[in-house]
Amino acid sequence: MRLLVVGRLNGQLSLAVKMAMSAGAKVAHVETIEAATQALRAGQGADLMMVDFDLDIAGLIAANEAERIRVPVVACGVGADPQRAGDAIRAGAKEFIPLPPDAELIAAVLSAVSDDNRPMVARDPGMEQVIKLADQIAPSEASILITGESGVGKEVMARHVHQKSRRANKPFISVNCAAIPENLLESELFGHEKGAFTGAVARRIGKFEEASGGTLLLDEISEMDARLQAKLLRALQEREIDRVGGGKPVKVDIRVIATSNRDLAQAVREGTFREDLLYRLNVVNLRLPSLRERPGDILALADHFVKKYAAANGLPARPLSDEAKRRLVAHRWPGNVRELENAMHRAVLLSSGAEIEEFAIRLPDGQPMAPAPDAAVARSASMAADAVSRGFVGQTVAQVEQQLILDTLTHCVGNRTHAANILGISIRTLRNKLKEYSEAGVAVPAPQAGVGNAA
C-alpha cells in the first residue's frame, strides 16, 4: 500500500515510517498540509495519510474534499492525552497512533486499509481451474471482467492477475465505483483542470493517469452511470482521457480490470449498462465461484484466517476441532469468503482452549453456528428445497426477484445493508428496487428502531 506521511520527521515519526516500510508500505513524505494536497493533486497517489496531530488535520481534509480528493487520514503524535486524540478523530482522522510507535499497531492499521497481502488460497478443483486461467491470461494486455457474488474475493483475484502480469512492478490502483458519489467519480477517474468547478484551485491528476504503466481496477463497474460509461468506453478505445474542464486529451497506458457482482448481460437488456462497454471490458471473463460451490476451500481458508488473526492479536494459532470443521463445511456462507474471514477472526478471539471449539464460531448476530445435519436431515432439507423451487414455476423472473428481495429484507428486520450483502447486490441497487416496489403499491418492510439504513 502507499502511505503519505505528513509532518516533520523527528525521531519518533521517523521510526514510525521505518516500521511502516517494514510492514510493506511504500512511503512518501511531505512536511506541510499544503504540500500534501499538492502531492495528491500531482498524481502522487496514496491509500492512507499519516498526519502529525499538531498540523491542521481538519483543514487538510477540507482542502482535499474541495478538490474531490478522497484519502483516509490517520493522526499520530507524541505524548498525546485522550483529549487531543479525540480532537484528531473529531477533525476527521480515522484512527490515532500514539508515538513512540508500536510496530504491531502500525501493521494492523496498514492492514485495515489494504488488501495488498491477501494471498490466493485455493484447494478446491473448481477454484484451481479459475486460477490456472488467470495465470494464463495475466501476461497479456487483455481487459478482464471478474464476476461473482459479493465477498468471493474479486479484488484479491485482480491483485493476483496484476502480480502475474508484465506490469507487476508498476502501480495497481483500485476505484470502487459504488462507494464514490456519482458527482465525484468523474474527477476521481479522469482528474480535473484548474477552475473546472468551485474548489478546483489547481490541476488534479486522476486515477487513470495515476495508474499509467500499471493496472486500474474498476470495482463494481455496474454502478457507474451511463454518461461516465460513455467516457470510459472512449478512454479504453483511444487509450486517452479528458480531464474535467480540460481541452486537450491525455494519453494513458493502463490495463483495466473490472469487477461486478451483477449480471451485466441482464443490465444491458435492462438498458442500465452499455453493450459496447461490456464487450470492451469482457475480453476474458473470470467467474469466481461462491464459497458453497467450492467446499474444498472452506477449511483451507479457515486455517489461513486463524493463523492470520492469531498473529495479529498475539495469540497462538490453535487448530480447529473436528466438530468446528464439520459446522464450517455444512454452513451455506451467504457472505462467502468475507463472512468466513470475519467468523474466524471472532473465533480466534472467543476461543480459550487448546483447540478452536464449535461454540467460538459465531454468526454475525452473535448466535452459535448450527450443528452439521446428519444424512437424514440433509435429505429432508433437499426435498424441502425442491418443493420451494417448484413453487416458483409459473412466475416471472421479476416476480421471483421481488419475493426474494422482500423475504431477505424481512429476515434482516429491515436492515438494507445486511440484505444487500446477502443478496450480493449494492445498497444503491437495493434501494432503487425498493423504491420501484413502493411506487407500485407493494408493502416494503421498514427498518426496526435502532436498525437503521432506511431507504
Domain count, the chain: 4
Asked whether residue 220 carries a pLDDT value surpassing 90, the answer given is: yes
347 domain residue, yes or no: yes
pLDDT band at 389 (very low <50, low <70, confident <90, very high): low
Pair (280, 305) in one structural domain: no
Of the residues 68, 83, 112, the one at which a domain ends: 112
Pair (182, 249) in one structural domain: yes
25 domain residue, yes or no: yes
Q: What grid cell was written down for 188? A: 476521481
450 domain residue, yes or no: no
Pair (150, 101) in one structural domain: no
Report the pLDDT value the prediction gives residue 234, as an integer from 0 to 100.
92
- Residue 284: phi and psi, rounded to 5, are -130, 135
- Highest-confidence range of 47-61, 285-299, 420-434, by mean pLDDT? 285-299
- State the Cα–Cα distance between residues 86 and 95, nearest whole angstrom: 10
Task: Give the residue from 88, 28, 79 showing the smallest Cα distance to 53.
Answer: 88
Out of 16-20, 187-191, 222-226, 273-277, pick the least confident.
16-20
User: Which single residue is written with the C-alpha cell 463497474?
Assistant: 221
Pair (51, 76) in one structural domain: yes
Asked whether residue 377 carries a pLDDT value surpassing 70, the answer given is: no
Of the residues 287, 316, 341, the one at which a domain ends: 287
pLDDT: is 10 or 32 the higher one? 32
402 domain residue, yes or no: yes
**DSSP string computed for 170-204:** S-EEEEETTTS-HHHHHHHHH-B-TTSSTT--S-B
Report the pLDDT value the prediction gives residue 125, as an integer from 0 to 100.
92
Average pLDDT estimate for 128-155: 95
Asked whether residue 352 carries a pLDDT value surpassing 90, the answer given is: no
75 domain residue, yes or no: yes
Pair (297, 281) in one structural domain: no
Pair (257, 219) in one structural domain: yes
pLDDT band at 454 (very low <50, low <70, confident <90, very high): very low
- State the Cα–Cα distance between residues 42 and 184, nearest whole angstrom: 18
Pair (105, 231) in one structural domain: no
What percent of the chain shows pLDDT beyond 90? 40
- State the Cα–Cα distance between residues 146 and 222, nearest whole angstrom: 12
Report the pLDDT value the prediction gives residue 446, as an integer from 0 to 100.
84
Pair (157, 93) in one structural domain: no
Output the domain CATH number for residue 414. Answer: 1.10.10.60
Range of the domain at 423: 393-439
Report the pLDDT value the prediction gives residue 348, as an integer from 0 to 100.
93
Pair (172, 257) in one structural domain: yes
Of the residues 254, 271, 287, the one at which a domain ends: 287
Q: What grid cell was written down for 409? A: 429484507
Q: How many CA atoms lie within 13 A of 432 on its CB side?
A: 7
Condensed to tens digits (0 to 9), the pLDDT of residues 144-159 reads 999 999 999 999 999 9
Output the domain CATH number for residue 322. Answer: 1.10.8.60
Asked whether residue 375 carries a pLDDT value surpassing 70, the answer given is: no
Report the pLDDT value the prediction gives residue 363, as an integer from 0 to 100.
85
Pair (157, 283) in one structural domain: yes
380 domain residue, yes or no: no
Asked whether residue 285 carries a pLDDT value surpassing 90, the answer given is: yes
Pair (60, 92) in one structural domain: yes
Output the domain CATH number for residue 236. Answer: 3.40.50.300
Asked whether residue 320 carries a pLDDT value surpassing 50, the answer given is: yes
Please check whether residue 28 is in contact with residue 110, taking contact to mean a CB–CB distance below 8 angstroms: no
Asked whether residue 376 carries a pLDDT value surpassing 50, the answer given is: no
pLDDT: is 115 or 308 the higher one? 308
Output the domain CATH number for residue 92. Answer: 3.40.50.2300
375 domain residue, yes or no: no
Q: What grid cell was written down for 13? A: 515519526
Pair (223, 321) in one structural domain: no
444 domain residue, yes or no: no
